[in-house]
Amino acid sequence: MVTDINYWSKVIKRIFSLALTLLLLFLIFKISVFYIPFLIAFVLAIFFEPLIKKMMKKFKWTRRTSSIFVIFLSIGILIGIIGWGTVTLFNEASNLLSNSGEYIQKIQGIVDDFTKNSSLFEKIPKDLYLSIQNAQSELISSVSTWITNLLLGIKNYIVKIPNFIMSIFFVIISLYFMCTDKIYIIDQLEHHLPDIWTKKISKYIHKITKKLGNYIRAEATLVFISFIISLIGFTIYKIMGLNIGFPLLISLGIAFVDALPILGSGTIMAPWAIIEVINGDIKLGIAIVILWAIMGIVRNVLEPKLVSKHIGIHPVFTLIAMFTGYKIIGFFGMILGPILLIVLKEIYTPLIDKGVLRSIFDRNS
């Protein structure tokens, strides 16, 4: 009887520990949007840390001087890029919004030609054919509404950029303190936390920060390279006279999809190339495939060098994390979800390796 009590107390303790960890991660996930400036600053601090250390070692600068140099250099570059990108993106979104009706009519024409000329639709009953046509019209109407709302949203965000100045201010200030006073912040946390917490947290924090930092830096670099290649490629295609009206807007869309785990640039470029070929613009279709191939080759060459270790998570679980993040906080959750999954995996690696339920209920554990 005593053995059973000891056994079930251990089981309850393990379940409580796992549930508490999941609850804490869920709370972190929920409040991350509210504290987004500090989250951005934390990610940037991880990204800048190797460069700061390199400056300290090469020029014999203090951490404060190196941090200030890296931060101001990055801000100068970002201001130039954001200024150019904002003006260009606003113009492209305005042009696309004003011409959205024309594009929807083209899509409607392509679908109508396909349904009229396809022998498949000649063999189905008339009532079913009419139902398909109605569903097709409703789908196109929904897509056009979604595109219009999306473009209006982009324009509204661009117009409201002055309202983000305060958030940017908090990002810069918190980034400064995270970079310059890293050691002090760590000492303060250790001072205020109980010793047993400090020991358990320090056991995982270094490994998680290092692996997560490498992962974020590698993925950000790969996405940025894909964005630059697509922007240069589409700009060249536009100069050549191909039907590319919005190089920056398209490149941003491709970069966003490329940033999502499992998905990639082919999610947009492959269907786009097929549609252009069906529509008769074979040159543009081939050009898109060539650019997609170049991006794929560059990514396959650089990825093994940038990502030293695979995150070791099956794509199914990554998809579940993306979907869960999307349902909780929207599109941002699709990126944050897999990151928190990596953290969870690092914390419970021994538990996962042995088997979650086996580790909880095994009498010999």
362 versus 342: the higher-pLDDT residue is 342
Taking CA atoms, 295 is separated from 8, 264, 268, 269, 352, in Å, by 55, 10, 13, 11, 35
Instruction: Dig out the tokens for 76 from the structure.
Output: 């100068």
Distance of alpha carbon 359 from alpha carbon 350, whole angstroms? 9
Pick from 73, 39, 48, 55: which is nearest to 182 by CA? 48
The mean pLDDT value for 158-178 works out to 76
Residue 365 has pLDDT above 60, yes or no: no
Provide the percentage of residues in the chain whose pLDDT is more than 70: 64
Residue 286 has pLDDT above 90, yes or no: yes
User: Residue 150 has what pLDDT?
Assistant: 64
CA 257-227-315 angle, 5° bins: 35
- How does the average pLDDT of the chain come out, rounded? 75
Contact 276, 237 (CB under 8 A): no
**Secondary structure letter of residue 363 according to DSSP:** T
Q: In one letter, which amino acid is 357?
A: L
Lowest average pLDDT, out of 8-12, 53-57, 250-254, 357-361, goes to 357-361
User: Residue 246 has what pLDDT?
Assistant: 79
Distance of alpha carbon 228 from alpha carbon 294, whole angstroms? 12
User: Residue 236 has what pLDDT?
Assistant: 93
Distance of alpha carbon 144 from alpha carbon 227, whole angstroms? 26
Lowest average pLDDT, out of 57-61, 74-78, 88-92, 361-365, goes to 361-365
CB atoms closer than 10 angstroms to residue 198: 15
Distance of alpha carbon 52 from alpha carbon 180, whole angstroms? 10
Q: How confident is the model at residue 3 (pLDDT cuts 50, 70, 90)?
A: low
Q: How confident is the model at residue 91 (pLDDT cuts 50, 70, 90)?
A: confident
Distance of alpha carbon 55 from alpha carbon 104, whole angstroms? 53
Contact 303, 222 (CB under 8 A): yes
57 versus 140: the higher-pLDDT residue is 57
Pick from 242, 277, 272: which is nearest to 257 by CA? 272
**Secondary structure letter of residue 348 according to DSSP:** T
pTM assigned to the model: 0.57
First to last CA, the chain: 19
> What are the pLDDT digits (tens) for 29-79?
677 777 888 888 887 887 788 888 898 988 889 888 999 999 888 888 877
Distance of alpha carbon 116 from alpha carbon 136, whole angstroms? 13
Contact 147, 100 (CB under 8 A): yes
**Which residues have CB under 8 Å from 334's CB, separation 6+?**
260, 322, 325, 326
* Burial class for 332, CB neighbours closer than 10 Å (0-12, 13-18, 19+): middle
Distance of alpha carbon 365 from alpha carbon 361, whole angstroms? 8
User: Residue 293 has what pLDDT?
Assistant: 92
Taking CA atoms, 144 is separated from 95, 252, 331, in Å, by 15, 20, 20
User: Residue 212 has what pLDDT?
Assistant: 72
User: Residue 1 has what pLDDT?
Assistant: 47
**Secondary structure letter of residue 262 according to DSSP:** S
> What are the pLDDT digits (tens) for 172-214?
888 889 888 877 777 776 777 677 767 766 766 677 777 777 7
Instruction: Dig out the tokens for 240 from the structure.
Output: 């050549």
Residue 340 has pLDDT above 80, yes or no: no
237 Rama class: left (phi>0) / alpha (psi -120 to 50) / beta: alpha
User: Residue 103 has what pLDDT?
Assistant: 56
